[in-house]
Amino acid sequence: MQGKDFKLYSGSAGSGTLIAKGTTLGFSSSNAGIEITNKDSGGNREMLAGGTTTKSVSFSGIFVGDASQELLETKHNAKSLDDYYLEYPLEGSHTNKRTDAFSGYVSDFELTGEVEGVLTFSATLQVSGAVTSTAGS
């Protein structure tokens, strides 16, 4: 599997608008515990498992046109929840793809360009709710 095979779409899985072809992708998931420290804890922090799960997707790549750049910038500036999905091949396959669909917002957005290079970007999407993963052919 190569980074160039990652694609980021805006909209519902299977019918969205391609925003970018990826060069890197990162998916982060963190489980926050519930602090229950009290006077009997002996000065030690005590936690319960089962708190809130926080997920984010970091993505960098190359835009597929001016409209896709404007779309991602507009979503960042709007500060609103939207539907997104990532599409990428399963390990060892170029045709069997996985789709991860989620609702989220663009929390970070950066453009980078060089004099004799392509315009690239990096963005972070904060996930709201569950991620729905589907493996297809």
CATH, residue 73: 2.30.110.20
Domain assignment present for 91: yes
Domain assignment present for 124: yes
Domain assignment present for 40: no
Query: Left (φ > 0), alpha (ψ -120 to 50) or beta: where does 80 sit?
Result: beta
Chain length of the chain:
137
The Cα–Cα gap between 122 and 23 comes to 10
The count of domains in the chain is: 1
Quick one: pLDDT at residue 66? 79
Query: Left (φ > 0), alpha (ψ -120 to 50) or beta: where does 43 sit?
Result: left
Domain assignment present for 41: no
Q: Other CB atoms closer than 10 Å to residue 57's CB: what's the count?
A: 20
Dihedrals φ, ψ of 39, to 5°?
Answer: -65, -20
Nearest CA among 22, 88, 86 for reference residue 55: 86
Question: Helices marked H in 1-137 — which ranges?
Answer: 66-78
The secondary structure element, H or E, covering residue 18 is: strand 17-31
Q: Which domain holds residue 109?
A: 3-35+46-135
Residue 90 is given by DSSP the state P
| Cβ burial, residue 112 (10 Å; 0-12/13-18/19+) | exposed
Q: What is the pLDDT of residues 45-90, one digit of tens each?
A: 999 888 889 999 998 888 777 788 888 889 999 999 999 998 888 7
Domain assignment present for 109: yes
Cα atoms in the 13 Å half-sphere on the side-chain side of 21: 8
Quick one: pLDDT at residue 127? 96
Instruction: State mean pLDDT over 27-48.
Output: 91
Confidence class for position 117, pLDDT limits 50, 70, 90 = confident
Tell me the whole-structure pTM to 2 decimals.
0.78
